[in-house]
Structure 1
């Protein structure tokens, strides 16, 4: 393997000379020099004793792929532009301090321990330096730049402003130590005119020269030099590992320095884009490195497409990638080509996520998923606005969130998603890996308790997307209501109530027992039983009970169970409702255990009893905006024959509930609440029994409304007075639903539930309703 560096000991004098001439400079991404007076004095003391001060690292210039704008070390004044031979990657603080103190010839602009600015020149007390009992750090003195040490009253206590004054004080100026002729000139002045006898001065100077002057002049600095062919990603990695005391060298910093060599200010460009994007609350945590990953994905995706167009099937075509090394190779031309498109796409991504009821940066399940999503938006262009494309993107998005696919290494998935999703949508390709591989375990609902989990945040958004309205105001939770009314997620059965009724906190705190409403609504709750706080809302906020039931149903809540403070029935029903919503969002079934008993309250002996009690409670409460009775599903009680019109009434009711707040359809119950039983339909279904009736219902809904609608129904039955009643719970739909007759006219119909009635809306009335009901 080719060696990427050399290591040697380089004379300090040589390094300082290289800095002065411009042969050694800094890469522009390096932070400024910041050492204070104490650091500098301590460094000079160590050097005077020939103690190690650590290695430095340089990079040989000349690699066309590693071009950084250089800048001279602080204090170096160059005449014109000088192309460096080496860039100083590590050791800037030490080498700059030594240059300023020993080679610049000017006072050092530093600070004191309290960060107050001051100027210093550094001197060595000759006698103290050669006294073995004296601490060397006490022998190295920093004095004001004018050479005058004064008391706070202004009295001069030490004057070393001239050679004569320095000689008289026996203090050697260290800014002469690296210049042999200057050192000798000062030596002669000291021997001729210094304090004490001449022979004594000569002996003192010899000892000082051997132990201190030579230590500086002969000092060798361990130097690691990265050779010219070192790739940029290696420079970045090496810098971060050795430069622990400096800035973190991100790919953004490296590209900033690279683009600066072509007079492009990446930081200024990004700051302006960040300012514009910062107006979107959802993008408040979006960073420059995320943006660069998007551009790198697009650049490599475009390159691969062009190569395959020229040479189809080429297995050596460039890979699509946004790993660190690929971002570092992002050419300025590619940045300029894709930056504006990506910026505009980010705004469209925000609108897309608002449609999924994700509104703030804190609520984004996976911030990393914004990278491939934005790249996909750019690649698809205007096609993303087509309804079927939106649905496919929604499925991909929710599979990523609910399948928790972005929790580990992500760059490879980014690249695969960009290629797979665009092929899936634009070329009728196979399902993307993220869609194909995503799974949701039903029992996972019980472990989702905080917004630290992406799936928790996702289900929170789904609850709002499915039409969840605020308990008190009845408002649809759109972006305006969400932000203006401080919408958050709260317990339905409060923690205090759960603790008092021995509900395990692990269950009480799961997302099954939580939903979204505003802070004022939560104030109405006060930790009381649902029956109490719902009555309080009805009384204090003048909300009709039937209307409040509709709101509860919009959250997938069993109104009968909640009003009866029946936690286990509520929990089971909502557990299943959430799973159905997850299945609809992901476009695939959730994974269940063999006995389907993931809910802690499932499989108990009271299951059938609870269903029966729930139906009886609904019958007792009578029909409402969220409850409707139908005697039969297929048979006309007037003619005794199968009637397509009776079937269509079932379809209309289900569609109307989906287009409103959801609801419950009881089949087998007459308008007056008497029990008829679905047995009346059995002669007109295939198997002449309950299984046949259930199969008929599913096929009916699939034919007239769609497969998704059929999958979203929750159908349970109970025997009451010897007859079977079917309870069909219908969730509110995430988008408008249309019913198309299985026979005859194939025109789709749009139905809604208003008060106790099902109505069909047409034309402008239907459009206005849809705009007002579905805010996305």
Structure 2
């Protein structure tokens, strides 16, 4: 029979040849061999490796490739100096250190996802047990079907500590393919159990012969392994890892720093875990990129916060001296941003730029914000609010971010302490109402607009429930005020998807109004809730839809509505301290993030 699969490439041959030329060793390792070495502790992961992430779909695709004998990518190992290891090791997920009988000989730099998948599948570990639907395979073989996808025969079910119980259901546990001896013993045991049943003689013959031939590739499969010598430097290891790591999770700056500082007595992973445990507000921010903490440490240490140089620029004393302050500063910054409407306790969807966080965090620690009087704190908050919206509206951190972080930290701190207004603030934001309405909701500009809206205590059009982004707020979505379904034929996508045509609504409300014209759904809401027009206008006012804009909305004057709502938000930005500079339409270039067609869940 012919099984449909993926195209074979020569990538691994090229990789092996390249590493041979570089003087690195290589060998081929069978699945059962590396599974045994993971179990004994010989094979481990470097401390900077991230968690196992593969889902069942990826695991089944891997098993499919193995069954076909297709290349599934080479593995990259680092030989371990047992007396002076370059990188501290950690065990594979679900490998039991108490059962280790060997010291680590190899660290797996690239291949964690594939090796962990095999370790779990062939040892029946993890959330799922994996099977081959042998009855369906037998039927296909009996019917003479030559072209079929073997991957469709791979089944995952909730973990079963006794996977043999699924044999009666036509499912052969892949964990029984750990080696030939196990496979034969399990098949023999099951065949002996059912062979007295004449109706199952066909199954017995299939399992004893044809099935074993088909799965032979799995038992013989070998992964090509590249081995870096133990004499490799940390810099060389990280460089090779980033170059060849194509199937796993990309090594981040923070991962490299974890590896660099661990031998120096600084466990960054543990520090992050403790920070999240003791400061729940910072969890989402640090989960997104823990490198931010090191950037704050660098600023507090009077060093450049360039992400790619942090491992070289920082020393252990910097981290020891400033780590706690960095975490406290990030917490203070996020609390302040939430007072502007950013809603970071719920998620980071409205945060215009991540680099704003380390800048403000370091400034708050340097000026000892928490020790200030209430009036002093209020003055600081006003300046940071001006900074927050100005850099978002002017797209300041679109490029050249590393240099700007250090520059803006110094300038913002000096502005707060000496009233020296930075150029980024005094220059202001270019504005042209007719052009500005082309901004969508996805970029920094759109997020600044939504932050202002989110801070206004808005309630759903139909139900009297608070909506937006934040804690204790109903699950809701960002939806078009002029429903897209009704107006997309009259206006181009850029205007229909303008951030000024959005607000938060409950899902039920959106369904209620999405197929209506604006005056139809406004009348519908008034009739259903027995509201006067005055009462409805009051409800919409919190969404920055004043009486004039209400009339534009009701009368379906879309362009007038967008322009008027943009002006309403502009007034709020001016109240926040943002300065604007009027320009011609041709002087203002709108650079939108790629538009997401689906409405977002808040």
TM-score range, shorter chain: 0.5 to 0.7
Rg: which structure is higher?
Answer: 1
Q: TM-score, normalised by structure 1?
A: 0.47
Match of 1:507 in 2: 495
CA separation of 1:329 and 1:471: change in aligned 2, threshold 3 A: same
CA distance in 1, matches of 2:329, 2:429: 26
Secondary structure of 1:152 counterpart: helix
Match of 1:7 in 2: 23
Contact 1:445 1:511 in 2 (8 A): no
CA distance in 1, matches of 2:417, 2:491: 50
Match of 1:230 in 2: 233
1:428-577 equivalences in 2 (<5 Å): 428-431=419-422, 433=424, 436=427, 439-440=430-431, 442-449=433-440, 451-465=441-455, 483-484=473-474, 486=476, 488-491=478-481, 493-494=482-483, 498=487, 502=490, 506-515=494-503, 523=512, 526-529=516-519, 533=523, 536=526, 540-541=530-531, 544=534, 548=538, 551=541, 555-556=545-546, 558=548, 561-562=551-552, 565=555, 567=557, 569-577=560-568
Secondary structure of 1:447 counterpart: coil
Shift, 1:342, TM fit: 3.4
Shift, 1:398, TM fit: 0.6
Shift, 1:365, TM fit: 3.0
Match of 1:250 in 2: 252
Shift, 1:401, TM fit: 1.4
Shift, 1:144, TM fit: 2.6
Contact 1:296 1:326 in 2 (8 A): yes
Match of 1:625 in 2: none
Instruction: Give unmatched runs, 5+ long, in structure 1.
Output: 101-107, 119-139, 158-220, 305-318, 599-776
Deviating more after overlay: 64-73 vs 370-379: 64-73
Match of 2:78 among 43, 58, 61: 58
Match of 2:135 in 1: none
1:254-293 equivalences in 2 (<5 Å): 254-256=256-258, 261=263, 266-274=268-276, 278=280, 285-288=284-287, 290-293=289-292
Shift, 1:393, TM fit: 0.7
CA separation of 1:328 and 1:556: change in aligned 2, threshold 3 A: farther
CA distance in 1, matches of 2:505, 2:554: 21
Shift, 1:323, TM fit: 0.7
Shift, 1:560, TM fit: 7.7
Match of 1:348 among 303, 310, 332: 332
Contact 1:530 1:563 in 2 (8 A): no
CA separation of 1:460 and 1:590: change in aligned 2, threshold 3 A: farther
Contact 1:58 1:224 in 2 (8 A): yes
Shift, 1:397, TM fit: 0.7
Shift, 1:552, TM fit: 7.2
Per-residue Cα deviation, 1:627-661 (whole angstroms, up to 9, x for no partner): xxxxxxxxxxxxxxxxxxxxxxxxxxxxxxxxxxx
Contact 1:448 1:510 in 2 (8 A): yes
CA distance in 1, matches of 2:116, 2:507: 57
Q: TM-score, normalised by structure 2?
A: 0.58
RMSD: 6.2
Contact 2:540 2:546 in 1 (8 A): no
CA distance in 2, matches of 1:533, 1:545: 12
Instruction: Give unmatched runs, 5+ long, in structure 2.
Output: 1-18, 125-129, 133-154, 163-177, 196-223, 590-602
Shift, 1:524, TM fit: 7.4
CA distance in 2, matches of 1:143, 1:553: 70
Match of 2:180 among 123, 132, 142: 142
CA distance in 2, matches of 1:29, 1:390: 37
1:425 aligned to 2:416? yes
Match of 2:368 among 381, 386, 400: 381
Contact 2:363 2:409 in 1 (8 A): yes
Secondary structure of 1:58 counterpart: strand
CA distance in 1, matches of 2:459, 2:304: 43
Shift, 1:7, TM fit: 0.9
Shift, 1:230, TM fit: 2.7
> Which structure has the higher relative contact order (CA within 8 Å, separation 6+)?
2
Number of aligned residues: 478
Deviating more after overlay: 585-594 vs 482-491: 482-491
Match of 2:46 in 1: 27
CA distance in 2, matches of 1:55, 1:569: 60
1:415 aligned to 2:406? yes
CA separation of 1:475 and 1:481: change in aligned 2, threshold 3 A: farther
Deviating more after overlay: 75-84 vs 431-440: 75-84
Match of 1:363 in 2: 350
Match of 2:241 in 1: 239
